Amino acid sequence: MDSLTFGAPKFLRHLMDPSSKKVPVMEFEIEKILEGLNMTMDQFIDFCILSGCDYCESIRGIGGITALKLIRQHGSIENVLDKINKERYQIPDDWLYREARCLFKEPIVSSEEEELNLKWSPPDEEGLKTFLINENGFNNDRVTKAIEKIKAAKNKSSQDRLEPFFKPTVNPSVSMKGKCSTEVEIFPNIY
C-alpha cells in the first residue's frame, strides 16, 4: 500500500497471487480512498505513518483504527502528539515521523538525465546499513535480514526455462526447404 502514500493514483493487490488461491485482484484508487475517509493527502500520509510504516518506528498500541480516529480528531501527527496520553502511548525517542513524511512527499528518485550503469554484484552491506539505518532510521534487524535474503537469492538458480513445458516433434509430412521441419507440441507435461 505504500505506493498510494507515495502518490500513485492506483494500487492493485493480489495481482501476482497464484491462480490456485482464487483471490480476486483488488484495485484501490487514492482519490476514492481520500474521499471515503474524508481526508487530505497530507492527513492520509500521517494516518499511514501512525498506523505503522517501514520508514520509522511505530507507537505501541496505535494501529489502523486508533490512527484513523486520532487523525480525524486532530488532523496531523503534530496535533496528535500534543494531545495524546503519553503514559498510555509511548512515543519512541527521536521518532522519525517527519523524515518518513518527507520521504513519502519528496522521494529520492533518479532524474531521466542520469545514466544508470547497473551491474550485478554482491550487496555493499556497510553502505546499505549506513544509508538505511543511520541516515533513514530503518530497523537494524530488518535490514540485516533483508541483506541476508538478497545474498541467499543471488546463490539460487535462475527462473525455470520454458522447455520443460513443451517438446519439439518431427512431422515428416511437412517439407520446407531451408526452414525448420518440426512442429511444437505445446504444454504436454501439464495435462
| 17 compared with 1, residue with greater pLDDT | 17
Per-residue pLDDT, 161: 52
pLDDT digits (tens, 9 = 90+) for 40-59: 999 999 999 999 998 999 99
pLDDT in the model for residue 164: 53
Task: Identify the pLDDT of residue 177.
Answer: 45
Higher pLDDT, 96 or 115: 96
Architecture of domain 1-107: Orthogonal Bundle (1.10)
Burial category of 147 from C-beta neighbours within 10 Å (exposed 0-12, middle 13-18, buried 19 and up): middle
C-beta of residue 26 within 8 angstroms of C-beta of residue 4: no
Domain ranges of the chain: 1-107
Q: Which SS3 state, helix, strand or coil, does residue 140 take?
A: helix
The continuous run of DSSP H or E covering 154 comes out as: helix 140-155
Q: What's the average model confidence in pLDDT over 103-120?
A: 80
Q: What is the mean pLDDT of the chain?
A: 81
Residue whose entry in the numeric block shows the C-alpha cell 500534543: 82
Q: Give the pLDDT confidence score for residue 181 in this predicted structure.
A: 40
Note the pLDDT of residue 120: 77
Of 111 and 122, the structure prediction assigns the larger pLDDT to 122
- pTM of the shown model: 0.61
Residues 134-171 have pLDDT tens digits of 988 889 999 999 999 888 877 665 555 555 555 544 44
Condensed to tens digits (0 to 9), the pLDDT of residues 83-111 reads 999 889 999 999 999 999 999 999 888 77
Tell me the pLDDT band of 189, cut-offs 50, 70 and 90.
Answer: very low
Reply yes or no on whether the pLDDT at 182 is more than 50.
no
pLDDT of residue 179: 43
Strand 10-13 and strand 26-29: the pairing is antiparallel
Grid cell in block for residue 27: 484495485
